[in-house]
């Protein structure tokens, strides 16, 4: 078709004319578009309806994190042909394209066909990303990255309008996405290690080609029935100059999350929960942004929850920029080496983050080969003795003056030997208790937690040592053997056969594990609780 096609007996312009009219309308202020279309399409109501639908789809896409909700027609339908490829059905659709299952009639194999959604075929920025993805995939040849077979150009009819499209012919990957698997619950540590190793190997291959994915997330990772992991969707990949794969394209050098269209409105195309802090701020990114996303994906595999969550886009970005993941949500079987690896992957500052995904792969391979060496929760032998039965008790606190003596001896060297500090003793009156051994002093010496009894029964109390009264902690009935987090912002304790945690000052108790707690517990600075279940 050259200049027009026939539909219902009416002449319809081919896509270039339709695209030009769409951009003319888009270039006007929203309040002026209706009058413009009324004048240009006075005798063509079907043409005006099509342009208005395209403008609505463009507006919806510009205000969403993806285009899954854009009500644009599918470009290809089952039974249609694109060159040598027969379309069998739709596999999925998102902000970076529509994907179809197709049959290669020449080589007699099934493939995946990826094209831009109809709503974005006229978007120069989307087209640039699409073509860049083809170059990226052609440069990569790795078993953990979905392969590209070629590019196919063909003419199709989109809502009655003729146009030429460009499609990527991709390896068809059968199986669930990692997001599908996580939705069924946490992945056992051993299985998660195997998946994470293959993801790291795929990213390592891309980084060696100076390619940064920038949109790694569970939905972009496939798990094949044979156990192979495939990283998909390099549509937001950044090509550095070292990659030698050509220019970045318009508006794509700074960040994959924010691009600028012809009307200068921000278009968010990334996935906030997996954006690195620098990516969320729109700053320049490198391979360390993929390492952040890798840490988010690994954490989510182990916990079946996102490392950074929020009810809205803004809430999620705030969590990424300001908050830490809930490290206690990791299963108790997580080896300390992996806990440390996750913390290094999720450092807010890129300079403090793990610098190379190959290092993560090596750590994971070590954990796979030596799982017995990494006991997740060391358990001490239970001490002898249990309850003590006295109503009143006295706590002796030592005020250590060694640091002051050291400072004095440094300021006035050789003056005289340091004097041993004298202990300071004081008494604290508490409510009645049947377990005077259940108390804990915070590491800064400012807060005392203890078990006592009031009208509601046995529970935890906390008293700041610069105050004269203790405050009961709700929900801690039956508590025993409290212990402080290193920062003094949370308490661990045992109750009802469970190890529990409560955040200060007004948090609700949470169950961490089954444990009687008779041997006590301690909470180290890596977020690991070591306890005895004696």
Active site residues: 215
Tokens encoding 246:
């050509």
Going by their DSSP bridges, the two strands 229-231 and 221-223 should be labelled as antiparallel
Are residues 52 and 71 in contact, defined by beta-carbon separation less than 8 angstroms? no
> Is the preceding peptide bond at 505 cis, omega within 30 degrees of 0?
yes
Cα dihedral 263, 318, 256, 209, rounded to 10, equals 170
At 155, which helix (H) or strand (E)? strand 148-158
DSSP string, 174-219: -SEEHHHHHHT-PPPHHHHHHHHHHHHHHHHHHHHTTEE-----GG
Distance CA 320, CA 342 (A): 15
C-alpha to C-alpha distance for 94 and 270, rounded to whole angstroms: 11
If DSSP codes are grouped into helix, strand and coil, which group holds residue 108?
Answer: coil
Q: Check if the beta carbon of residue 532 is closer than 8 Å to that of residue 514.
A: no
The single-letter DSSP state of residue 75 is S
Write the CA distances from 303 to 300, 321, 325, 326, 517, integer angstroms.
5, 21, 11, 10, 24
Residues 6+ apart with CB under 8 A from 71: 56, 57, 60
In 171-318, the DSSP E strands lie at 176-177, 211-212, 221-223, 229-231, 238-239, 258-260, 266-268
Which residues 6+ apart lie within 8 Å of 414 measured at CB?
A: none
Query: Contact, 256 vs 65, CB < 8 A?
Result: no
β-pair partners for 239: 211
The values of phi and psi at residue 298, to 5°, are -65, -45
Q: What is the C-alpha to C-alpha distance for residues 289 and 294, in angstroms, rounded to an integer?
A: 9
- The strand ranges marked E within 8-62 are 10-13
């Amino acid at each position: 078709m050259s200049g027009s096609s026939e539909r219902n007996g009416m002449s319809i312009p081919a896509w270039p004319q339709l695209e030009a009219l769409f951009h003319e309308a888009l270039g006007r202020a929203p309040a002026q578009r209706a009058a413009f279309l009324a004048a240009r399409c006075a005798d063509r109501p079907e043409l005006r309806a099509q342009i208005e639908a395209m403008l609505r789809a463009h507006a919806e896409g510009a205000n969403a994190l993806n285009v899954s909700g854009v009500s644009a027609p599918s470009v290809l339908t089952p039974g249609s042909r694109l060159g040598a490829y027969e379309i069998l059905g739709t596999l999925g659709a998102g902000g970076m394209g529509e994907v179809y299952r197709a049959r290669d009639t020449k080589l007699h194999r099934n493939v995946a066909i990826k094209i831009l959604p109809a709503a974005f075929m006229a978007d120069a920025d989307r087209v640039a990303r699409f073509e860049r993805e083809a170059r990226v995939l052609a440069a990569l040849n790795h078993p953990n990255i979905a392969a590209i077979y070629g590019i196919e150009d063909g003419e199709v009819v989109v809502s009655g309008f003729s146009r030429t499209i460009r499609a990527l012919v991709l390896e068809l990957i059968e199986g669930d996405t990692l997001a599908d698997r996580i939705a069924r619950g946490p992945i056992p540590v051993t299985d998660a290690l195997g998946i994470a190793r293959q993801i790291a190997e795929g990213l390592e291959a891309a980084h060696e080609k100076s390619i940064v994915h920038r949109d790694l997330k569970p939905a972009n990772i496939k798990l094949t029935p044979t156990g192979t992991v495939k990283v998909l969707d390099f549509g937001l990949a950044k090509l550095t100059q070292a990659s030698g794969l050509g220019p970045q394209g318009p508006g794509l050098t700074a960040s994959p999350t924010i691009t600028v269209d012809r009307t200068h409105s921000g278009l968010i195309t990334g996935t906030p929960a997996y954006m690195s802090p620098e990516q969320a701020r729109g700053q320049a990114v490198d391979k360390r942004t993929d390492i952040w996303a890798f840490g988010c994906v690994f954490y989510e595999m182990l916990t079946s929850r996102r490392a950074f969550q929020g009810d809205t886009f803004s809430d999620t970005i705030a969590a990424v920029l300001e908050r830490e993941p809930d490290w206690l949500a990791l299963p108790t079987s997580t080896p300390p080496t992996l806990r440390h690896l996750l913390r290094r992957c999720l450092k807010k500052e890129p300079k403090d983050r793990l610098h190379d995904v190959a290092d993560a792969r090596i750590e994971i391979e070590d954990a796979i080969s030596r799982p017995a060496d990494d006991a997740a929760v060391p358990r001490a032998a239970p001490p002898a003795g249990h309850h003590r039965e006295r109503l009143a008790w006295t706590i002796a606190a030592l005020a250590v003056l060694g640091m002051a003596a050291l400072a004095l001896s440094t300021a006035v060297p050789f003056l005289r030997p340091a004097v041993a500090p004298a202990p300071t003793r004081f008494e604290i009156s508490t409510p009645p208790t049947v377990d005077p051994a259940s108390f804990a002093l915070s590491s800064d010496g400012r807060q005392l937690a203890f078990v006592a009894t009031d009208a509601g029964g046995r529970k935890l109390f906390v008293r700041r040592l610069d105050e004269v009264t203790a405050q009961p902690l709700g929900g801690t009935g039956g508590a025993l053997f409290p212990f402080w987090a290193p920062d003094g912002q949370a308490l661990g304790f045992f109750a009802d056969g469970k190890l529990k945690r409560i955040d200060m000052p007004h948090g609700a108790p949470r169950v961490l594990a089954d444990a009687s707690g008779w041997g006590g517990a301690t909470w180290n600075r890596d977020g690991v609780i070591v306890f005895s279940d004696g």
